[in-house]
């Protein structure tokens, strides 16, 4: 059962990383290796894209440092209409303060800032970034044999691709490389600040409930 829960935790962390918890002291930001690398894109960004990039940079800094409130503050607020914010945060907190695994580092690299498009009440754009996540096993009894390591590798490889998974069984460390997509939205009624929401099949199931029709028709 613990192994199943750990696998769930790993998948959740790599999909929703960015939160802390109150009941357990989080690691200090300076103790982590948190780097936001900015790609020098060959194309020239427009003024609107550069404005968005400032918010995107800040969002990734908060994400890397596991700043719970900071990430939630920059999350598209209507996400918490179908999802209870308190329960969501508590669940993520429980995962990230697990006594089974630790987050050794979480580094990000912006790869694309899409065209800023207009809708009736604001603007939106598609974003991409690459993330490298390094996780360490805390519990020495979990994944301590070759068979269990192989099972874990197969599960993670199926989700992320074999080439994106590295398991160091000696040092008990997992490194995962993945590309993430986001949707950035600026609502003119919300101080014209950019907010972010994940852009993947799981999040897209919620889009019809929370996104304006003008955006839905253009993505």
* This prediction's pTM: 0.78
Task: Give residues with Cβ within 8 angstroms of 98, minimum separation 6.
Answer: 6, 9, 138
| Confidence tier at 5 by pLDDT (50, 70, 90) | very low
Q: Is the pLDDT of residue 55 over 70?
A: yes
- Give the mean pLDDT of 162-172: 92
Tell me, what's the pLDDT at 2? 44
Q: d(Cα 214, Cα 119) in Å, to the nearest integer? A: 6
Tell me, what's the pLDDT at 37? 52
Question: How does pLDDT run across 85-102, given as a tens digit for each residue?
Answer: 998 788 777 767 878 888
**Average pLDDT over the chain, rounded to an integer:** 81
User: Does residue 93 or residue 76 have the better pLDDT?
Assistant: 76
| Structure token digits, residue 146 | 């070759």
Question: How does pLDDT run across 176-199, given as a tens digit for each residue?
Answer: 999 999 999 999 887 779 999 999
Tell me, what's the pLDDT at 214? 94
- Give the mean pLDDT of 148-176: 91
Q: Which residue has the tokens 């889009």?
A: 207
| Confidence tier at 207 by pLDDT (50, 70, 90) | very high
User: Does residue 175 or residue 159 have the better pLDDT?
Assistant: 175
Tell me, what's the pLDDT at 145? 86
Percentage of residues in the chain with pLDDT exceeding 90? 48
Instruction: Give me the number of domains the chain comprises.
Output: 1
Tell me, what's the pLDDT at 33? 43
- The DSSP secondary-structure symbol of 145 reads S
Tell me, what's the pLDDT at 52? 97
Tell me, what's the pLDDT at 7? 46
Q: d(Cα 46, Cα 136) in Å, to the nearest integer? A: 41
Strand, coil or helix: 127: strand
Strand, coil or helix: 23: coil
Nearest to 83 by CA among 191, 215, 202: 202
Q: Is the pLDDT of residue 64 over 50?
A: yes
Domain that holds residue 156: 2-216
């Amino acid at each position: 059962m613990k192994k199943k829960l750990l696998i769930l935790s790993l998948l959740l962390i790599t999909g929703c990383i960015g939160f802390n918890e109150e009941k357990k002291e989080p690691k200090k930001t300076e103790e982590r290796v948190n780097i936001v690398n900015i790609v020098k894109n060959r194309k020239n960004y427009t003024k609107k894209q550069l404005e968005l990039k400032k918010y995107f940079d800040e969002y990734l800094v908060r994400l890397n440092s596991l700043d719970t409130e900071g990430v939630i503050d920059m999350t598209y607020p209507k996400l918490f209409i179908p999802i209870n914010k308190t329960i969501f945060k508590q669940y993520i907190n429980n995962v990230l303060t697990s006594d089974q695994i630790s987050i050794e580092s979480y580094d990000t690299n912006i790869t694309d800032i899409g065209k800023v498009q207009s809708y009736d009440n604001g603007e939106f754009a598609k974003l991409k970034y690459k993330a490298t996540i390094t996780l360490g096993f805390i519990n020495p009894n979990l994944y301590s044999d070759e068979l269990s390591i192989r099972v874990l590798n197969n599960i993670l490889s199926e989700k992320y691709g074999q080439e994106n998974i590295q398991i160091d069984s000696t040092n008990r460390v997992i490194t995962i490389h993945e590309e993430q997509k986001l949707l950035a939205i600026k609502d003119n009624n919300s101080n014209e600040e950019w907010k972010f929401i994940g852009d993947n099949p799981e999040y897209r199931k919620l889009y019809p409930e929370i996104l304006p029709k003008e955006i839905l028709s253009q993505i």
